[in-house]
Each structure stands twice: as C-alpha cells, then as structure tokens.
Amino acid sequence: MPELPEVETVRRGLTGLVKGAEIEAVALPYPKVLLSNPAAFQEGLQGARIEAIDRRGKYLLFRLSNAQTIVSHLRMEGQYSVEPVGAAPHKQTEVIFTLADGRDLMYNDTRRFGRMQLVATGTENEVVPGLAAMGPEPTEDELTLPYLRTILQQSHRRIKPFLLDQSKIAGLGNIYTDEVLWQTKIHPETLTDQVTASQVADLRTNIIEEMKRAIKNHGTTVHSFSNVYGEVGKFQNQLDVYGRAGLPCKRCQTTLEKMKVAQRGTTYCPYCQVKVASK
Ligand SMILES: [Zn+2]
C-alpha cells in the first residue's frame, strides 16, 4: 500500500504533468471506484481546470477551478498515468480524464480498492470520514512532542497498530512503522503508555526524518508502486528491517524476525527491540 512518501511522490509528479490542464470529459470504465454519483461526477468535471494537487495523509486532493475537489485514495495499488493523445486505456483503467490538450489522465487499479469522490472544496474535512478523523501530518511543525507524548500516554494499545492508526498520525503504513520502531529500538508490541520519555522524543524525530528521506528518494517500491512517469521509487534500497526478515540486523547482526502484530506482518530485531514486561 502506498504510504505518505509514495502518495507525495505521486502528487509531485501529477503537479508537474497536469497542473493547469482542463478536463474536457470523463469516462468511467469502472464506475464503482466512485463514492459519488457517476453522472454528477462526470458533469461536475466538464470544463474544470486542475488548479493544484494537494495531499493530506494518504489522500490526494485535486483542486478544481469550479470550487470542487476530487478526493482520491489509492489504497493498495491505485496508480495514475498520463497518456499521449490516442493511447489505449490499460486493462485496469477505472477512470479516464480526457484533457483539453488531448492527453488522457488515467486512474488504474489492479486491486480495485482505491476510491474517488467529488466534493465542494473546503468541505472535505467534514464529508470524507477518513479526512475528518485524520491526525497531524508527520512533520516538525504538526507532530509536536507534547502531542505525541500525550496520545501515547493516554492509550494502552500496542505501539505498532497505534502508529498505523491514521487518526493518531497521518500517513504511516506497515513499511515505515517497522522502520521507525527499529530505529528507536522499540518492540512492536510495547504498550504505548510504557514508551519512555526519551523514546518518545526519538520516535518523533525518527518518524519526521524517515518521511523526509523517503520522499527525497521518491518512496519505496513494493509490488507495483511507480510514480506518474512510470519510474520506481528507490527507498527500498535503504530500508533497515522491512522485507529483511531472516537477514542480519544492520546494528547488531542478530537475525531479524517476522511476527504478526494486529494481523500485520512485522519485522523486528529480537535483540535491539526488547519487549518490556507488561505492567
Ligand atoms: Zn539488532
């Protein structure tokens, strides 16, 4: 699943390619992708110009000139591609935005889990439940130390599913959660209220820095992720634990292990990430 750095990579690519473009027509080979009424979606986009593409957590927000916003979530394997005039749709194309300059912006999704809807700009944080409940972006300014300290102390959940919860912190998924827990030497099953004060501070720094590094490297390519230019991200070459179960820990050489935490495959170092006994 694309996480924040991958979605941000897509956002930057789309901005370069289609910002300013006018949508002439919309075809819907797979209308179930929409959470909006298909006819209203098509009519609402006709003649609209894409003024900007924003991101919030793992959501893309296409800001249109007619005060509407397309809210798009890629989920497992959603992808955008920009095709030259006359290109045939892919087998898994779900939406085709025909642009006035003749190109097509296509939304393709092999798993068909991604969703899209059209809302009035400014209402998205009320009408899209995932946005309404979303926690702060994992940045220096938004993810403050007092906030992180408080939400960890107030909860009694295991840290791994807690970090995956988008209502606590926006944008983290399975890959980067495993990475930051390894970096901070926290066992994935540690209860949030047992994370020490110095670990909270380190965890915050590691989350913020990891997001920056991954964005700089255009995200991680697992399965089918690629940016809108069809290029793959390069951050997988820098991952310390994710996908490395059975290989030696880069810090202590202990063999990394894989376990399930809240149904999610989790890779960790049994030596560096010691489990604290539950109180
Ligand atoms: Zn280790």
- 255 C-alpha vs ligand 1 centroid, how far in Å? 8
Q: Using alpha carbons only, what angle is made at residue 61 by residues 38 and 99, rounded to the nearest 5 degrees?
A: 60
Give yes or no: 43 in active site. no
55 is catalytic: no
Question: Degrees (nearest 5) of the Cα angle 107, 108, 111?
Answer: 135
Judging by beta carbons within 10 Å of its beta carbon (0-12, 13-18, 19+), is residue 176 exposed, middle or buried?
buried
Tell how far the Cα of 206 is from the centroid of ligand 1, in angstroms: 17
Tokens of 69: 């916003």
pLDDT at site 39: 96
Give tens-digit pLDDT for 40-87. 999 999 999 999 999 999 999 999 999 999 999 999 889 999 998 778
* pTM recorded for the entire structure: 0.92
Residue 174 near residue 195 (C-beta atoms within 8 A): no
Q: How far is the CA of 13 from the centre of ligand 1 (A)?
A: 36
Per-residue model confidence (pLDDT) at position 278:
59
Q: Is 3 a catalytic residue?
A: yes
User: Does the active-site annotation cover 31?
Assistant: no
For 75-133, the pLDDT digits (tens) are 988 999 999 877 888 889 999 999 999 999 999 999 999 999 999 999 999 999 999 99
Q: Among residues 11, 55, 56, 58, which one is catalytic?
A: 58
Report d(CA 53, CA 62) in Å as an integer. Answer: 5
The pLDDT value given to residue 220: 72
**How far, in Å, from the CA of 252 to the mean position of ligand 1?**
4
pLDDT at residue 223 tops 60: no
Q: How far is ligand 1, taken at its centre, from the CA of residue 234, in Å?
A: 24
Rounded to the nearest 5°, which phi and psi values hold at 255? -65, 125
Tens digit of each residue's pLDDT (9 = 90 or more) over 166-210: 999 999 999 999 999 999 999 999 999 999 999 999 999 999 999
